[in-house]
Chain A
Amino acid sequence: MSVAHSDSAGATPPATRGPSPQTSPAPARLSAEAGTRGAIRIDGLVKVYDPQGAAIKAVDGCSLDIDAGEIFMVVGPSGCGKTTLLNAIAGFHDITAGRITLDGEVLCSAERPKAAAGSDRVVVFQNGALFPWKTNLENVTFGPSVQRKLSKPDALAKARELMAEAGLAGVENNYPAEVSSGMRRRVEIVRALMNDPKVLLLDEPYRALDALTKSVMHEALLRIYYKNKVTIFFITHDLEEAIFLGHKVAIMTTRPCRPKSVVTVDIPHPRDHRVLTSRRFRELVQETRAAVHEEARKAFEAGEKEG
């Protein structure tokens, strides 16, 4: 992360440079309720894999409160069960006990253990899931086009606008494989935003990126966030990433996964890379480092025992 405050502007595409984006008003075509919706409440969530046999408790008694329109970061060592949490919210698999609600509506509970997957909670995947057989533009318009929510010209206009805002003008007709991995991530986030989701679920989206690209991507994500104010549920194992981006950071225990502590990051938004060298940022990293390290060590030792 030490590279993050070096002159990273050179790696930023021209379209994303320029004046601070936080001053520009949210575009009118985005849902007016943006920022007031997307509150997730997780109550006593339990997820047991293979209930008859080995009964591995991936998540146990996990409760979290995510406010509408906030960036909520979930930090834990690899394999601690945090992706299980995300999959439960997204509706990719069922839960064993507990309850998840979105804006007061029950997504899943003991009675209905699997939430229906839907475009109000769009996932950005760890390894990226842009369809390689569709151009970037076709990928971005996929959501509205399959749901027939927007007419084709409207979808194209919205897609072009959002892509331009994310510094993706000029690559609309390229295939995902033809652009950089950083761009692919942004295309995927734009594809999600096209559906006006209540929540963006990000599963370690920057894991495969190099440190320099990563810091540029963080600013790009914040810029997109300041315009859209969508709730972001972001999973990572990178503590500095979590503190830089998040309003709140939940540090998770390793297997079973539950919050060890939830830290409120009192650094005001909008933030940019200068935050990384600020004193408060360093203090917060120091305060939380020990907790994260302890869990990582436990995960490592558990892995040694199993292996």
Chain B
Amino acid sequence: MAIRSFLTGRVGTRATGAVPLVLRRAADWFKSPRPYLMFAGFGLLLGFWFLTVEVLKLPRFAEMPGLTVVVKEWLSRDPTYGLSIHTREYYTHIGTSVWRVAQAFTLATVLGVPLGLLLGWSKRFREYVFPLFEVLRPIPVLAWVPLAIVMFVRTESAVIFLAFLASFFATALNAMLGVESIDETYLRAAECLGANRAQVFRHVIVPGALPFIFTGLQISVGVSWFSLVAAEMVSGQYGLGYVINTSYSTVRYPTIIIGMITLGVVGYVTSAAVRVVGNSLMSWRVRELALRGPS
């Protein structure tokens, strides 16, 4: 299967030229207009922020912390509001949030992928479970907060449960759609070549659904962060959502922005990690897409 071919086959040939390839890619990247457009995009936003708050001092933005204030605070060895890249606390908050997302995401994947595959594969199972699933799915995470607090004695479990919930539904739904997306002729072909039901599942259903599963996991890791922050704002003593919420009530506005930017960066890194894992498990897919040329 995909994993096996990944471990045994073509990866070796690719890894041998790895270092020059990385350098070549970087050189190509800097030759293309892409990095400059990217910097321009960031520049526009930061410039707008700087201009409106600190240069023009527009009345609407009077309460906003300015760009330079935030950056100084963020990099300060002795931050006014107690949180910067030099304080241990900053990393405790990041670590706590990442650890919670990791647990919620793992749980959602371990439970959601098999559930989704079964929903797509077995009509009978689907008739039992899917209506229930579709009623629970639209309930917003915030609506679960009181129940989560009542259900779980430990705040920690309640927070993880909330972060788990939304990503679980996204994962299961995409895995199900992945199975449905598989062309019937693949199933017929496997059947005529003598595969039994378990082998069809392993050789056709799972790899065939994989592209959708990984799309689902990327969505899942995103909504996991989303619901985690919501949960941390409601309860908990650490975490980036907690930082943002308490900084608001104690009027430490620059710290809010530090928390937000940190969330953005950490969230980006986690979904990039999911994408990298997905691409390495689906080398067939990556090569197929590459053949279609740049889009």
**Chain A residues in the interface with B (C-beta under 8 A):** 90-92, 117-119, 121-123, 125, 127, 129, 131-135, 138, 142-143, 146-147, 173, 175, 177-178, 191-192, 195
Contact = CB atoms under 8 A, between A and B. Distances in A.
A119 B291 contact: no
3 closest Cβ pairs, A-B complex = A129-B189, A133-B207, A143-B193
B203 A142 contact: yes
A147 B204 CA distance: 15
A117 B291 contact: no
B284 A122 contact: no
11 contacts: A117-B191, A118-B192, A118-B194, A127-B185, A129-B183, A133-B208, A134-B203, A135-B9, A146-B196, A146-B199, A175-B288
Nearest to B188: A92
B57 interface: no
A90 B192 contact: yes
B193 A125 contact: no
Interface in B227-248: none
Contacts of A192: 193
A123 B192 CA distance: 7
B284 A146 contact: no
Nearest to A122: B192
B210 interface: yes
B5 A138 contact: yes
B77 interface: no
A92 B185 CA distance: 10
A146 B284 CA distance: 21
- By secondary structure, the A interface counts as loop
A132 B288 contact: yes
Given A142-B193, A175-B287, A131 B203 contact: yes
A175 B6 CA distance: 13
B203 A117 contact: no
A129 B193 CA distance: 11
A230 to B, nearest CB: 14
Nearest to B183: A129
Nearest to B9: A173
B10 interface: yes
B282 interface: yes
Contacts of B284: 132-135, 175, 177
A125 B5 contact: no
B274 interface: no
Contacts of A178: 287-288, 291
Most chain A CB inside 10 Å of its own CB: which residue of B9, B193, B196: B193
A133 B3 CA distance: 10
Contacts of B195: 142, 146
A293 to B, nearest CB: 30
B285 A133 contact: yes
B2 interface: yes
